[in-house]
Amino acid sequence: MSGVCGRFAPSPSGRMHLGNVFCALLAWLSARAAGGRFVLRIEDLDTQRCKPEYARLLEEDLAWLGLDWDEGGQKGGAHAPYFQSACGEFYEAALQKISGRARVYPCFCSRADLHAANAPHLSDGTVRYSGRCAHLSPAEAEALRQTRRPALRVAVPDLDITFSDACRGVVTQNLAGECGDFILRRSDGGFAYQLAVVADDARMGVTQVVRGGDLLSSTPRQIWLQRLLGLPQPHYAHAPLLVGADGVRLSKREQSLGMDALRARLTPEALTGWLAFLAGQQPAPAPVSAAALAGRFTWDRVPKTDIIVPAELMGNS
Ligand code: GLU
């Protein structure tokens, strides 16, 4: 096997839908086309929303599609654990390291504080942190600690992070201007996605990260954390988003595109044929197996912008 390692890192907060399996197929093809191994990591940090039942179903849905993995999920492997809910000690170690290399400070802001009317909104709809708690004196922080458990935030520098994305081309983001100080650990003690994903990708030897374009704006933060921690930077590819005819991103609400509905009306090859067509890998949505696509996959043919899902596949026509 080549030194390439790809991964699929779903959150088991519901049954997969078309958008999830589109990303899964691209991640799998990208790794397999390079002769790489493939890891399935279950991102179940949000214990309120994630359910073991969904994790089981997503393994079953991936297997149904013909997407296999060398390690991860129930199968385990050399880099276990593969369930983020079991990885706390690794996140704690990363947090300690970051705290020694950057300013990590307690943040007492409530959700309402963060979404105050004048809070600057970022391109992805999230809010850039005002830096309010960065200026608390130790005495003020101590007083607030009596009433509220703080989140932990890391202060970012005024630094441009630039990376080359296999799908989007060169991407640049200024950390202070476009992102702001971000959370490493939530007030409920849970570790934040940005920290967990960096620690896990490095621990599992991941060399290529393929995921949905909605996470593009997270990548500069993750690259900055990798640099702080002295970790290698994987190659990135952010897949185009699947949208409806109205240009609005498909969501789990579209029941006809949930895996239960898709499996009821399509064979694995028929669904893969559609996904491969949407991904620019074949000129028509002819049935095909994932394995047959692996030998001819290339990012060059994947569309760079949102993809409208045809009515025929929506199942409404
Ligand atoms: N767990 C994230 C999701 O389901 C993906 C994280 C990643 O691929 O980095 O959207």
Q: How many CB atoms lie within 10 A of CB 99?
A: 14
What is Dmax (Cα atoms) for the chain?
66
If you measure from the C-alpha of residue 197 to the centroid of ligand 1, how many angstroms do you get, rounded to a whole number?
A: 8
Tokens 């002819």 identify what position?
A: 286
Q: What mean pLDDT do residues 139-158 have?
A: 96
pLDDT of residue 52: 97
If you measure from the C-alpha of residue 214 to the centroid of ligand 1, how many angstroms do you get, rounded to a whole number?
A: 9
Which of 8, 28, 215 for mutating ligand 1's site (highest number of atoms within 8 Å of CB)? Answer: 215
What number does the ligand 1 atom closest to the CA of 10 have? 4
If you measure from the C-alpha of residue 271 to the centroid of ligand 1, how many angstroms do you get, rounded to a whole number?
A: 22
Which of 5, 8, 58, 197 for mutating ligand 1's site (highest number of atoms within 8 Å of CB)? Answer: 197
What number does the ligand 1 atom closest to the CA of 13 have? 4
Residue 269 has pLDDT above 90, yes or no: yes
pLDDT of residue 251: 75
195 burial class (0-12, 13-18, 19+ CB within 10 angstroms)? Answer: buried
pLDDT of residue 152: 98
If you measure from the C-alpha of residue 39 to the centroid of ligand 1, how many angstroms do you get, rounded to a whole number?
A: 13
Residue 316 has pLDDT above 90, yes or no: no
CA distances from 287 to 38, 64, 284 (A): 24, 14, 9
pLDDT in tens, 78-107: 999 999 999 999 999 999 999 999 999 999
If you measure from the C-alpha of residue 306 to the centroid of ligand 1, how many angstroms do you get, rounded to a whole number?
A: 18
Instruction: Count CA atoms within 13 Å of residue 244 on its CB side.
Output: 14
Residue 186 has pLDDT above 80, yes or no: yes
Contact residues of ligand 1, CB 6 A cut-off: 9-11, 43, 197, 211, 215
Which of 25, 44, 193 for mutating ligand 1's site (highest number of atoms within 8 Å of CB)? Answer: 193
* Residue of 182, 250, 191, 190 whose CA lies nearest to 219: 182
pLDDT of residue 127: 81
pTM attached to this predicted model: 0.95
Residue 117 has pLDDT above 70, yes or no: no
pLDDT in tens, 42-65: 999 999 999 999 999 999 999 999
pLDDT of residue 255: 84
Residue 252 has pLDDT above 80, yes or no: no
What number does the ligand 1 atom closest to the CA of 211 have? 8
| Summary mean pLDDT of the chain | 95
What number does the ligand 1 atom closest to the CA of 43 have? 1
If you measure from the C-alpha of residue 10 to the centroid of ligand 1, how many angstroms do you get, rounded to a whole number?
A: 5
